[in-house]
Structure 1
Amino acid sequence: MPISMAIEIIPKPIEKIPSARKKLFYFSIFLFLGLLLGYFILTSLEKKSENTRDNLKEALLKGKTPETSSLEEEILNDEKKIKDFSPLLGKHFITSRIFEFFERSTHPRVFFSGINLNSLKSIAKLSGQTDSFLTLGQQLAIFEKEPLVEKVDISQVSITKEGKIEFFLNFSFNPKIFKYPSGAKGEEEIYLFDY
């Protein structure tokens, strides 16, 4: 036998694969299987959540009648109108509030027969009648104590044939008297409506 054959018959030792390379190979397989498993789990969860979402949408649509939808739309339109109208209302003068003021603060023995009102300048001129100068003085004292009256003075006083006192009063008001109440309890509401 030739020597070259003898060498071929003797088994060669098997080359060992380094352990780091083996670990990397098994780790790669494990990672691939984990990713594959994760993909299928996430896909099934996505389908379940889509089904749940669709079921909830159907339940909402079943609960929503055309009447409810039209009411919701109407409410949203009204809300928009209120938001658009609020700034205008804040600038609006409510001249009728002056009558509430005079009703509350007029002496029982004083009678007012006329009023000339300028709400833009917050001034008024009143003509009235009373029985005596004492009552007129009491009426002036009542007006001077009012927080919404900035100034009040008598411009003319005379005695009628019947013995009554006829007079004219000039007022200067705080502009808050003509403003729309804000919703929160503000000064103007306390003064005008705190009986």
Structure 2
Amino acid sequence: MADPSLIAKPRMEYAHPSRQSEGGRGLGILTIIALLFLVVVGGVYGGVYLYRQNLEKSLDGLTRELSQLEHDLDVKNIQEMARVDRGLRTARSLLAAHIHSSNVFSLLEDHTLPRVYYTKFAYTFEKGISLGGKADDFLTLHRQLEEFRSFPLITRVTLDSIALTEDKEGSAINFFISITLAENIFRFR
């Protein structure tokens, strides 16, 4: 309803509304923000509570399953598995220390030149390999010795004796060499 007073009011009243109405509206916005915050906190708390309940149920189920599995395992089976495990560990250590002498023959096969052949072979772990053989000429024998010396698992090559021979096939070089091997050649497979 309109103001029945005929007395003019100052213009300031119209330009600025009264302070009472502003204070009431501000309190309403703060109340809404507080309620929203309360709802969010309550939602987070409820979510955490439900998540915790779910984890406890999962833990209880897994604990029951573990106890059932422990109950189902037979003591004899456990002892048998432990015995087999000890046997496997022993076998592994034996295989690691096993010497593969076939590596010596592979070495000779891989590093012998085509124009060289062996007539005598002796091997001992302490002394290494003693070889007697024939080569076509001195240059072939030299190349054979260099081939052995270039292989890293051969530690020493010694030419023990050398002789020039003549037969029906022509001349040849008879030789005896000693080869000292690195110990780890027997570990490779």
| TM-score interval, smaller chain | 0.5 to 0.7
TM-fit CA distance, 1:165? 1.6
Greater C-alpha radius of gyration: 2
2:178 alignment partner, one of 170, 173, 186: 170
Query: Which residue in the other structure is 1:80 paired with?
Result: 86
Does the 8 Å contact 1:122/1:175 carry over to 2? no
Distance change (3 Å), C-alpha of 1:75 and 1:105: farther
Seq. identity, %: 25
TM-fit CA distance, 1:77? 4.6
Query: Which residue in the other structure is 1:104 paired with?
Result: 110
Query: Which residue in the other structure is 1:10 paired with?
Result: none
TM-score by length of 2: 0.54
TM-fit CA distance, 1:114? 2.4
**AA of the residue aligned to 1:128:** G
**How many residue pairs align between the two structures?**
128
**AA of the residue aligned to 1:130:** A
Report whether the alignment pairs 1:149 with 2:154: yes
RMSD over equivalenced CA pairs, Å: 3.3
Query: Which residue in the other structure is 1:11 paired with?
Result: none
TM-score by length of 1: 0.53
Report whether the alignment pairs 1:113 with 2:113: no
TM-fit CA distance, 1:93? 2.2
Distance change (3 Å), C-alpha of 1:90 and 1:52: closer
TM-fit CA distance, 1:53? 3.9
**AA of the residue aligned to 2:118:** F
Q: How does 1:63-78 map to 2 (within 5 A)?
A: 77-78=83-84
Unaligned regions of 5+ residues in structure 1, if any? 1-44, 182-188, 190-195
Distance change (3 Å), C-alpha of 1:57 and 1:175: same
TM-fit CA distance, 1:101? 0.9
TM-fit CA distance, 1:88? 2.7
Report whether the alignment pairs 1:140 with 2:145: yes
SS at match of 2:118: strand
Deviations 1:33-74 (A, max 9, x none): xxxxxxxxxxxx89x93x76445655x59xx9x9xx97x987
